[in-house]
Chain A
């Protein structure tokens, strides 16, 4: 609305400058602005909130590799976020002793620009136990990348989307 307010004052300035040509310009300008405003208002009426949009963009399958413990241990996980707000993670944890597979599932949502999830089942429960909850700030979700700021470390975590 602030932007349109500026246009309104521009209309007054234009009319005071020139009696003939600017009137035509103002008239055209006014029509275009009115159309644009109508489009904007219509869009506002139907546009999803940022959280809704983020949640929609997040639905799909993501690949993430996280360093855990010392810099040499890592978790590789495929994260599937479903439209019904449930998720399934299948992962493998690797360290000097070898690798161990795990999986966990639960519910998720986007709230105030944060990704929240709660684990409801896990196998085995030693890495991610039922009841575990996390809430990380979402920085971006694009066609390929999902970037969050981890609350515990303040560092970025990046996931890559599986090709559709």
Chain B
């Protein structure tokens, strides 16, 4: 079930405010997932202060951003985490936060269960420790499961389990659904992008085209599974997947990072997609006046995809996937279901861009050497 094309067109041209936005509260993280899109680990000394964060929430509330997705790094590592999410909710801004679960103990779960307008999303990248911990680190599966048990015990209600789909876990889709069902949780699958540390492991971990087709078929049969419109590139395979089926970056969503930088989306933390900083003149000014956002909101060229009959279904795919694999934004998506992306990758010259923003705690190593 796709969305009316005139509605998509209007969204492509931008809105008065984001519908929702991702706010990475901190680059600090107590895990070191191989594919971390924000290359998190070490806290940045220039992090927004509590006062700055509170003022930002005020602006977000005044703009009527409907809800915020709070992440990081690991957002619970900020000392003012609960103060900030309490404040957002009190200002009628809904909050979903994404967590590795390491700090969701019984007391935290009870505190969260007592809050309204709060959504919790626990990250998990496999249905067993072997699969999950290879990507997220030793002990991470156990922590995530413990967090889910605590949320259930505290009567939190429905939370989300968020899985980044990789070549190694795509065979576990049914088991993931069962796990979510066990907790009465919502399963959410998202696309691995070559962003942040994801660039180091993308070649080895991104699903094959055959797996992409399998995933598409599975999602078509499971409309209850959320995707964050993450797989709209697969909509070229047939009837569109649920969602707007278009890139929301700078149009309906954006990212605010821990030091106040505003990017088009969490998957393009790179100067090329930096719209401004909230410390200059606030967030609303950036959303409204940024040149980057104005250019994203004006009709783009279909480029190499112009002659493809499926362009309307996939709109040429994901900017982040193209940018960080060294493709042009007018090239096909590297995971184009028809293989046009693979052709474009083969023709590539030069080195893919890397983000200057790297807060990793240690030298990044390839997956195969771990």
Are chains A and B native binding partners rather than an unrelated pairing? no
Which B residues fall within an 8 A CB radius of A?
A: none
Which A residues fall within an 8 A CB radius of B?
A: none
